[in-house]
């Protein structure tokens, strides 16, 4: 467990050093009150069942084919799932898997990129929880790959480059853990390929001039402090990691 924690420290430190922009902080505050009990009855039952397919079915039924509604419900699910980490890590990762699968649909991510960003950032925190990796390494591999793919989608990335890179860092950290690699031997190379492609994506570079350097640092398991460019304003942000052993926590203090 100690080795596992140290491995996460390197990737999470890299993500933390990039910084978090206000849209994500606001999102965390907005979803902090979401619990399993606050979910619609059908979703609550599905999440508590610990069955990812049941959660997906409930999301599809309640959204009624409306992409914006699907994104909103997926965000509620993954936010509630994070509250289950201590008591039911298996249910937490299965619910997160369903939420990420929902926003992975292009109709959802392009219609609601902000909520999609919030979903993958929350799911990425669930991914690097040691209990989750212990009980469901194969599911972690699946979700890590999906999170990396969604994070590198231009529409989602542009909402918050810092949040997207943080999600990538957590996804890669999970994808390189021994337990996850043992369960799905190809996961590291799969996620690495997604990130390599993202590092060369000109659309992502237009939203964040430091994209290539940041993603390369993730792949090299390095820590880097960079300038994040958004539109015409360039600012430098620093961050400190408060807790990694159980779950990463990021605190940002602008210079």
**Residue 237 bridge partners (DSSP):** 254
200 φ, ψ (degrees, to nearest 5): -105, 5
Distance CA 4, CA 174 (A): 10
Looking at residue 223, its pLDDT comes to 60
Token duo for residue 189: 């190379």
**Residue pLDDT, tens place only, 78-117:** 999 999 999 999 999 999 999 999 999 999 999 999 999 9
3-state secondary structure of 241: strand
Q: In this structure, are residues 169 and 14 in contact, taking their beta carbons and an 8 Å threshold?
A: yes
Give the predicted TM-score (pTM) of the model: 0.80
Cβ-based neighbour number of residue 45 at 10 Å: 15
Report residue 236 as tokens: 């430098």
> Domains in the chain: how many in total?
1
Range of the domain at 171: 2-254
- Taking only the tens place, the pLDDT of each residue in 108-121 is 999 999 999 999 99
């Amino acid at each position: 467990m100690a080795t596992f924690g140290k491995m996460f420290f390197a990737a999470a430190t890299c993500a933390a050093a990039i910084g978090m922009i206000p849209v994500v902080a606001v999102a965390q505050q907005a979803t902090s009150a979401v619990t399993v009990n606050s979910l619609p009855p059908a979703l609550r039952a599905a999440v508590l069942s610990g069955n990812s397919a049941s959660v997906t079915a409930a999301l599809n039924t309640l959204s009624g084919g409306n992409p914006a509604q699907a994104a909103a419900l997926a965000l509620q699910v993954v936010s509630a799932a994070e509250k289950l980490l201590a008591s039911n890590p298996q249910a937490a990762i299965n619910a997160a898997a369903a939420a990420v699968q929902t926003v992975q649909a292009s109709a959802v991510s392009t219609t609601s990129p902000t909520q999609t960003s919030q979903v993958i950032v929350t799911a990425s925190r669930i991914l690097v929880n040691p209990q989750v990796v212990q009980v469901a390494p194969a599911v972690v591999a699946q979700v890590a790959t999906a999170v990396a793919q969604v994070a590198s989608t231009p529409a989602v990335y542009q909402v918050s480059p810092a949040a997207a890179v943080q999600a990538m860092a957590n996804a890669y950290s999970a994808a390189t853990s021994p337990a996850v690699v043992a369960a799905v031997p190809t996961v590291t190379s799969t996620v690495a390929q997604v990130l390599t492609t993202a590092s060369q994506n000109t659309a992502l570079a237009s939203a964040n001039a430091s994209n290539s350097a940041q993603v390369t640092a993730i792949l090299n398991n390095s820590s880097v402090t960079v300038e994040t460019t958004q539109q015409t304003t360039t600012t430098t942000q620093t961050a400190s990691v408060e807790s990694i052993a159980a779950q990463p926590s990021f605190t940002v203090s602008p210079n």
